[in-house]
């Protein structure tokens, strides 16, 4: 299978080198780890945190948009626009809240890991989208090989 025969975005990503697939695994894992922090025990009551819900919602919304972009233009640098559209607002909101949440709790540590991993991804996506709109609109499959 090559880029021209990849029927889905998942098929195309599976053709990437091992290190890119490892990065994608880290990215997915950090987002899914939000599930562990949705409910927490506040003194005397169980509470729901909005930050993990926002992280997961933005992850799934970006996935839907990425699949739509893939269906239209294929495996190109434009795919990063989905992360920019859906992850950026959540990223900025959590970035602004990080001091209030702190880094002492496990949840606070998780949010700092999320900010690092999502931040790196958003930087790569921003570069990719700019490159796409400046003429680099070819398939990105095996760009590292």
pTM, whole model, 2 decimals? 0.90
Summarize pLDDT for 73-113 with one digit per residue, the tens.
Answer: 999 999 999 999 999 999 999 999 999 998 899 999 999 99
Mean pLDDT (whole number) for 60-65: 98
- 51 Cβ contact partners less than 8 Å away, ≥ 6 residues apart: 34, 37, 93, 94, 97, 101, 111
Query: What pLDDT, on a 0 to 100 scale, did the predictor assign at position 145?
Result: 46
């Amino acid at each position: 299978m090559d880029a021209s025969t990849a029927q889905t975005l998942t098929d195309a990503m599976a053709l990437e080198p091992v290190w890119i697939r490892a990065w994608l695994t880290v990215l997915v894992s950090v987002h899914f780890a939000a599930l562990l922090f949705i409910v927490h025990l506040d003194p005397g009551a169980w509470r729901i945190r909005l930050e993990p819900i926002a992280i997961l919602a933005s992850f799934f919304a970006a996935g839907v948009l990425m699949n739509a972009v893939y269906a239209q233009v294929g495996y190109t640098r434009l795919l990063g626009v989905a992360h920019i559209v859906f992850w950026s607002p959540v990223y900025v909101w959590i970035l602004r809240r990080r001091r209030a949440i702190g880094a002492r709790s496990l949840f606070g540590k998780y949010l700092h890991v999320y900010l690092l991993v999502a931040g790196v991804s958003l930087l790569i996506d921003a570069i990719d989208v700019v490159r796409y709109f400046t003429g680099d609109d070819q398939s990105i499959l095996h760009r590292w090989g």
